[in-house]
Chains A and B, each alone.
Chain A
Amino acid sequence: MLRDITLGQYYRTESVIHALDPRVKIVGTFSFIISLFLVKNFIGYVIAGLFLVICIKLSNVPPKFIFRGMKAIFFLLMITMVFNLFLTPGEPLVSFWKIQITGEGLKLAIMMGVRLVFLITGSSLMTLTTTPNNLTDGLEDLLKPLKKVRVPVHEISMMMSIALRFIPILMEETDKIMKAQMARGADFESGSIMNRAKSLVPLLVPLFISAFRRANDLAMAMEARCYRGGEGRTKMKPLVYKRMDVYGLAIIFGYVVCCLVFGRILFR
């Protein structure tokens, strides 16, 4: 059940996408997300979809693995689509009693659904192909200019990398705790909403205690290694752009231009 959440997980394999510089991947993902909000018609979405499919193909991550993560947001997706479908004013397409579905609503609902699915797939592709350490290194580098205006960039990226690093650990822990409580007859999957919420207490209490304990240990270990923040810190593996990265950036640029031209300017 918990293994279904793929958002933020890293999938270990070898591919062109895995080997790209994390900065390129972050820029690429952001451009992709922005492009999703800029395109106005279905041609734009087709281009975005093609781009995404090619990226997934290149990444060697099994599509099944990526879409398993979709289950977790299925509910959210449905709500968004239903609201858009019924609450958009315009030409009524079908109507019964007080409810009506408009042509505009239908279009908007589909657009929203596709946009959300693409958005999540795109961003999970980034985390699936980039180790948390690389990801935060890249982010830190990209945010460097903000240091000028006194944003604690290093601290933020450190916090992020710790948070990301702990996701799999805490997931595994949750799995173990769940099993331990299930062995004592706990039931997490049936009953009314109230009962289910109550049944989470035996799961959450040990989980929080363990999270605090781990945080304490980590703080101690950092202290023992004289960690004192980012000033003057060097890296064992500094990020360097390679030829592939330049190509990658060029492709991303090409994609964004394509998207804008076909999805916004040429066809309205």
Chain B
Amino acid sequence: MSIILNHVNYIYDEDTAMASAALVDVSLKIPDGQFIGLIGHTGSGKSTLIQHMNGLVKPSSGQVFFNNEDINDKDYDKKKLRAKVGLVFQYPEHQLFESDCFKDVCFGPRNLGLPQKEVELRAYEALKQVGFDDDYFYQSPFDLSGGQKRRVAIAGVLAMKPQVLILDEPTAGLDPKGREDILNLISDLHKTMGITIILVSHSMEDVADYVERIIVMNKGRVAFDAEPREVFSHYKELEEIGLAAPQVTYCMQELKAAGFDVRTDITTLEEAKNEILKALGK
């Protein structure tokens, strides 16, 4: 049970003057149950990459395997694949269309051809999983706040019971509180359901606190693929490609330079707090 990308290349607008390479020789293995952060600058190919994973985009060359089957084979059932590899796009406005939230969440499971009872049960479950209030179930999704819309969008994909959940910038445009709520929610989903999660983001802070593996994309190539600690120790290279390590990492570097005996490979606030307290001898 895993996703494997084997030397995947993708070229936009092939055979026109606007042709440009979006992915260059990307090989990745995504085993079950991992919580992965996918980071990259705008236009680095991260959105294109995730669309390869559920077969929305076909690679120009190379293969994508899900559970050891090539998903671009002619007789491969893409619909089933998309139920197993759930993809939540950046803007919930792009997928909400029904007159109330509950109906909207039903859309995914109904497309799988499940009986009505099962559909409603799954929709209910999914909305509960994302912590959606019963009061809002029958409200129009267009009247909700940004954070609530996002919850409905995530529930819409969760209701298909995916084994892999991919979220494209789920925190874009949310206030700090909304961000934290959504990230905690995703982290909880990972813990309680044990599904693989790929979180696309360009904020290091978002990712550092939660994920166990970071993939950094740059100009269509995989620049780094390692644990957060390892990736952020390359903060100089990250800066060169327009990214940065979390601010606490910089803070620890400065402390070290100022003569405090602290570790510099710190990525989260919690770790930093403990380390500073230790250095101060408390």
Interface residues of A (CB under 8 A from B): 11-13, 62, 64-65, 173, 176-177, 179-187, 201-202, 205-206, 209-210
Are B111 and A185 in contact, CB atoms less than 8 angstroms apart?
yes
Q: What total of A-B pairs shows CB separation below 8 Å?
A: 69
Q: Tell whether B68 is near chain A: CB-to-CB under 8 Å.
A: no
Are A202 and B97 in contact, CB atoms less than 8 angstroms apart?
yes
- Give complex CA distance A202, B91 in Å: 15
Are A184 and B108 in contact, CB atoms less than 8 angstroms apart?
yes
Are A206 and B94 in contact, CB atoms less than 8 angstroms apart?
yes
CB distance from B13 to the nearest CB of A (A): 8
CB distance from B197 to the nearest CB of A (A): 15
Chain B 127-160 interface mask (CB, 8 Å, partner A; 1/0): 0000000000000001000000000000011001
Q: Which of B51, B95, B142, B160 has the most chain A CB atoms closer than 10 A to its own CB?
A: B95
* Contact pick for B107, options A65, A184, A209, A210, CB 8 Å: A184
Query: Which size bracket describes the interface of B in this complex?
Result: 20 to 34
Are A180 and B89 in contact, CB atoms less than 8 angstroms apart?
yes
* Contact pick for A206, options B82, B97, B156, CB 8 Å: B97
* Contact pick for A179, options B79, B89, B93, B97, CB 8 Å: B89
CB distance from A182 to the nearest CB of B (A): 6
Are A13 and B56 in contact, CB atoms less than 8 angstroms apart?
no
- Give complex CA distance A186, B54 in Å: 13
Are A177 and B94 in contact, CB atoms less than 8 angstroms apart?
yes
Known pairs A176-B89, A179-B89, A209-B142; A184 contacts B95 (CB<8 A): yes
Q: Which of A182, A185, A201, A206 has the most chain B CB atoms closer than 10 A to its own CB?
A: A185
12 A-B residue pairs with Cβ-Cβ distance under 8 Å, sorted by A, are A12-B17, A13-B17, A179-B51, A181-B95, A183-B54, A184-B111, A184-B157, A184-B160, A185-B82, A185-B108, A201-B97, A206-B93
CB distance from A121 to the nearest CB of B (A): 17
Q: Which residues of B contact A181 (CB under 8 A)?
A: 95, 107
Q: Which residues of B contact A62 (CB under 8 A)?
A: 15-17
Known pairs A185-B79, A185-B82, A187-B79; A180 contacts B16 (CB<8 A): no
Are B93 and A209 in contact, CB atoms less than 8 angstroms apart?
yes
Q: Which of B51, B94, B112 has the most chain A CB atoms closer than 10 A to its own CB?
A: B94
Q: Tell whether B83 is near chain A: CB-to-CB under 8 Å.
A: yes
